[in-house]
Chain A
Amino acid sequence: MKKITFWQTIRNLAVYSLLTVVVVPVIWVAGISDAEAVPAFARKYDMTCNVCHTRQPRLNPFGQRFLENGYQLPGTADGGTKEKHLLGGELNGVTLDDISNYMAVRLRADIQQASFVDNKIIGDVSDDPDIVFPNVVNIFFAGTATEDISFFFETEYATQGAEEPALRFERSYLSFNNLGGQQVATVKVGNFDPSAMYSFPTHRQTINPVPAAASTDGFPPEVYRAPLLPLAFSSKMFGLTRGPSKSSDELRTGVSPAGNTTYDPEGDDGYSILPFEPMFYNAPAQKGISIHGRPFGNSLLYQVGVVQAETAEDVSKTTFDPYIMLRYDILGSNSNLQFSGFYYTASKAARAALRPPVAPFNGEVVFAREASDWVRMGVGARWQYKSLDIYGTYITDEIDKPDFGNPVLNMSVWETDASGLSIEADWLLTRKWLLGVRYDMMRSGGLSKLPPGLQAGDPEINQDASFIAFIGKYYPTPSIGLYGRYHMNLEDSVKLPAAGFGGVENPATNLESMITVGVDMAF
């Protein structure tokens, strides 16, 4: 189990205690009341958070339109010059607000206690308190440089996940708004979440995602703890990889000139795609271009775009995946109903792989001759009615059946279809209390059975996963949320090793339940 070292924990604790101890009381003392406790946009327009948010971070319809309009008030192009600093001369200069009007900070920290099936011991459940301080601090700068030109830059410092804690740029993009007229076409260029306007935007979940604790450097990947994130958007496919980068001869035949393929354990030449990995039209951030607008009246939103993605054949090469999304809004008394659908195609997006332990392969990784195209389609809906906010999405994925160029290996069974469902209902009980229920389900695809004789027993390799989570979030002020949540693994009666697949416990079932309490605040 890759644990964070003791000193790292101390360091994290120190940093975040400092932030909490310094920042929160100062803001309190500054006398900020409900109407004034506000991050950047709320400061700029002198509004409470909930003009744009149902409860932070989720957006209400006004906030959604504000985002769509490139962080300008809906129906306007108010980049404007009000209260701004003019840079670069009187004429056509860039105008910037005071820094407090475009800079904000979001801090998320929680304590997690998980109980999961211990490595190699089937049926024994260990209650590892796992009191880590996985933390995320986002600093973001967002606003308008001039009328109809907006910017967004976000840095993230995260200690969660298998990687070393790092400071990196998350989303960063420019937005050129209302080209050709109000709401005709807005172009976003950069690194951003393509699903920001979808009915189930993955970046704005009440629950912070908990990534998998896994190592994808080897094949098959070793998963120590299943993640908790919107399963509808995950890859859902077992047995797929990206890479390695080898000569095209080797790729075509699936066998290296020396007789076997090699899988570079350092991970530079490829990596396994976890079935839980968030893919495609999804957060956290994808490099690409998106164009959206409502030229056909106020109800129908279109979005077309491309995402820059690695190719499966050579991860050092990139390709552009196109997508299209349509959303239809019906606004009524106390009600906002949206229906969306999207279509995303990724060519040569993943490569099937097997690692047969028997001769002549002897544990070497064998790749399919061709990388597979991947088509993803989703429908989503969101209904806000008074203090109830229900949103969900159903997403299907389809890959090609792999050909390994070997009659034995081609007797492996692959499910080329998979689907997932994520749905959440939030209820704002009182001004300060939000209760929620979330259901995630993945009907997996990909590698189902190894060729006969290579797999002991009959269980399928690709396992479905489903989780239910109960959330309570308390907002002492609109921009500070204290939450507790409880996740239950609904498949935990299935406790199997995926024999032949690598011998480790099944990633879908090894997490039984998790309790998390934490804070999610923005300034």
Chain B
Amino acid sequence: MKNSIKFLFSLPTVFMLALVVVVPATAQAEEDKTEANKGPLMDIKVSPYTKRPAEDGKSVAAGREIYENSCIFCHGPDGEGDGPVATYLSKDLAPQPRDFTSGIYKFRSTASGEMPMDEDLFRTVTRGVPGFMPGFEGLSPTDRWKVVYYIKSLSEDFKGAEPEAINVVGSAIPSTAVSINKGYEVYQQFKCWECHGGGGLGDGKKAPDLKDDWDYPLPPRNLVHLRSYKNGSESVDIYRTIMAGLDGGAMPSYADFFEGEEENAWHLVNYVRSLSR
């Protein structure tokens, strides 16, 4: 019967649908890291043969053109984060596209209250922000630097600012049970659970009503979804988030409390990463 044949066609459909569901659940985040560009916190894949273009009027103008082709739809005609896509992307909720004129940046390697480094902006343009901003690796590194220079030109606060990367003490520690346990103790003692919840689901007692600097609701990160960490989920990224805080959001800097005991921060990083297993 014709009908049965048509029915059979729907079986591959079901099979394909099953595949569609299974495959993304097992997809792995990309692991390729070539050499960092500068300092241990700049995890950028940049060819050593590419030189940074000069930060001058020409580069800024070229950056503006690239911005108009790729960025303007979210970030707006004047970089104020008011592009026509902003409403649809995240209506009435954070994150909204960055308002470059405010000079406030979440993803930095500098101390709380400081401007980001150029490399921080480059990293964000390259990697994107999981869930909300695509990564523009399709632009050449030179083009990405030009966009960074244009973005910097949008806020007075970059003028004369010489941001310095925070001093990274130590590096990622192997994620052993001992380390994770120590990290758990830090998580308790430093009260991370009050916002991020006992199980890291972002449901701590302080979590309701947390807002960002623009009064959009911005709840604490659900630490179980490692791929969704907007500042990155590698060990150095998490270290950076804890130390620098996320200016513009509620996440404060813990650098003062880890002073002299930075190893505990790396243990905490291991514990946080262990929550997703």
- Residues in B with CB closer than 8 Å to A61 are 73, 83-85
Q: Is A22 an interface residue (CB 8 A)?
A: yes
Give, as a whole number of angstroms, the nearest-CB distance from A255 to chain B: 40
- Residues in A with CB closer than 8 Å to B82 are 333-334
Give, as a whole number of angstroms, the nearest-CB distance from A197 to chain B: 15
Give, as a whole number of angstroms, the nearest-CB distance from A166 to chain B: 7
Q: Is the CB of A430 within 8 A of B92?
A: yes
Q: Is the CB of B134 within 8 A of A51?
A: yes
Which listed residue, A46, A82, A167, touches B131 by the CB 8 Å rule? A46
A257 to B123, CA, bound (A): 79
Size category, A interface = 35 or more
Which listed residue, A22, A62, A65, A99, touches B23 by the CB 8 Å rule? A99
Among B78-92, those with CB < 8 Å from A are 78, 80, 82-92
- Residues in A with CB closer than 8 Å to B9 are 157, 167
- Residues in A with CB closer than 8 Å to B84 are 60-61, 331-332, 334-336, 384-385
Q: Is A428 an interface residue (CB 8 A)?
A: yes
A225 to B242, CA, bound (A): 64
Which listed residue, A19, A45, A105, touches B134 by the CB 8 Å rule? A45
Q: Is A11 an interface residue (CB 8 A)?
A: yes
Q: Is the CB of A100 within 8 A of B23?
A: yes
Q: Is B61 an interface residue (CB 8 A)?
A: no
Q: Is A184 an interface residue (CB 8 A)?
A: no
Q: Is the CB of A523 within 8 A of B17?
A: yes
- Residues in B with CB closer than 8 Å to A164 are 2, 6
Q: Is the CB of B132 within 8 A of A78?
A: no
A35-57 toward B: CB 8 Å interface, digit per residue (1/0)? 11010000101111011011100
Which listed residue, A46, A65, A76, A182, touches B128 by the CB 8 Å rule? A46
Q: Is the CB of A387 within 8 A of B88?
A: yes
Q: Is the CB of A46 within 8 A of B16?
A: no
Give, as a whole number of angstroms, the nearest-CB distance from A103 to chain B: 6
Give, as a whole number of angstroms, the nearest-CB distance from B5 to chain A: 9
B122-134 toward A: CB 8 Å interface, digit per residue (1/0)? 0000001011111
Q: Is B54 an interface residue (CB 8 A)?
A: no
Q: Is the CB of B87 within 8 A of A74?
A: no
Q: Is A30 an interface residue (CB 8 A)?
A: yes
A10 to B173, CA, bound (A): 60
Q: Is the CB of B128 within 8 A of A48?
A: no
Q: Is B19 an interface residue (CB 8 A)?
A: yes
A45 to B18, CA, bound (A): 21
Q: Is A77 an interface residue (CB 8 A)?
A: yes
Among A39-96, those with CB < 8 Å from B are 43, 45-48, 50-51, 53-55, 60-62, 65, 72-78, 80, 82-83
Beyond A48-B132, A331-B72, is A23–B138 a contact (Cβ under 8 Å)?
A: no
Beyond A23-B17, A334-B83, is A431–B92 a contact (Cβ under 8 Å)?
A: yes
Q: Is B60 an interface residue (CB 8 A)?
A: no
A30 to B2, CA, bound (A): 36
Which listed residue, A78, A83, A157, A166, touches B13 by the CB 8 Å rule? A157
A73 to B78, CA, bound (A): 21
A320 to B248, CA, bound (A): 57
Beyond A22-B17, A100-B19, A104-B20, is A73–B6 a contact (Cβ under 8 Å)?
A: no
Q: Is B225 an interface residue (CB 8 A)?
A: yes
Q: Is A145 an interface residue (CB 8 A)?
A: no
- Residues in B with CB closer than 8 Å to A513 are none
Q: Is the CB of B76 within 8 A of A333?
A: yes
Using CB atoms, name the residue of chain B closest to A166: B6
Q: Is the CB of A77 within 8 A of B138?
A: yes
Which listed residue, B14, B18, B131, touches A47 by the CB 8 Å rule? B131
A428 to B93, CA, bound (A): 14
Q: Is the CB of A100 within 8 A of B27?
A: yes
Q: Is B30 an interface residue (CB 8 A)?
A: yes
A331 to B84, CA, bound (A): 8
A74 to B7, CA, bound (A): 40
Q: Is the CB of A76 within 8 A of B20?
A: no
A326-346 toward B: CB 8 Å interface, digit per residue (1/0)? 000001111110000000000
Q: Is the CB of A50 within 8 A of B89?
A: yes
Which listed residue, A105, A430, A431, touches B16 by the CB 8 Å rule? A105
Using CB atoms, name the residue of chain A closest to B78: A333
Q: Is the CB of B73 within 8 A of A62?
A: yes
Which listed residue, B16, B66, B85, B222, touches A62 by the CB 8 Å rule? B85
- Residues in B with CB closer than 8 Å to A105 are 13, 16-17, 20
Beyond A65-B73, A386-B87, is A100–B24 a contact (Cβ under 8 Å)?
A: yes
Q: Is A465 an interface residue (CB 8 A)?
A: no
Which residue, of A35, A43, A72, A167, has the highest number of chain B Cβ atoms within 10 A? A35
Beyond A19-B13, A62-B73, is A45–B228 a contact (Cβ under 8 Å)?
A: no
Q: Is the CB of A100 within 8 A of B92?
A: no
Q: Is the CB of A78 within 8 A of B137?
A: yes
Q: Is the CB of B228 within 8 A of A139?
A: no
Q: Is A18 an interface residue (CB 8 A)?
A: yes
Among A367-409, those with CB < 8 Å from B are 384-387
Give, as a whole number of angstroms, the nearest-CB distance from A401 to chain B: 44
Q: Is the CB of A298 within 8 A of B68?
A: yes
- Residues in B with CB closer than 8 Å to A139 are 13, 16
- Residues in B with CB closer than 8 Å to A82 are 30, 137
A182 to B90, CA, bound (A): 30
Q: What are 16 A-B interface contacts by the 8 Å CB criterion?
A: A15-B10, A30-B21, A46-B131, A47-B131, A50-B89, A60-B88, A61-B73, A61-B83, A78-B136, A82-B137, A103-B16, A137-B13, A298-B69, A336-B84, A384-B84, A430-B92
Q: Which A residues lie at the B interface, using CB under 8 A?
A: 7-8, 11, 15, 18-19, 22-23, 26-27, 30-31, 33-36, 38, 43, 45-48, 50-51, 53-55, 60-62, 65, 72-78, 80, 82-83, 98-100, 103-105, 137, 139, 157, 164-167, 182-183, 298, 331-336, 384-387, 428, 430-431, 523
Task: Please name the 8 residue pairs, one residue from A and one from B, whose CB atoms are nearest each other, closest first.
Answer: A76-B138, A78-B138, A35-B131, A75-B69, A75-B70, A100-B23, A336-B84, A62-B73
Given A47-B128, A100-B23, A157-B9, 8 extra CB contacts under 8 A: A15-B7, A19-B13, A38-B24, A60-B88, A100-B24, A334-B82, A334-B83, A431-B91
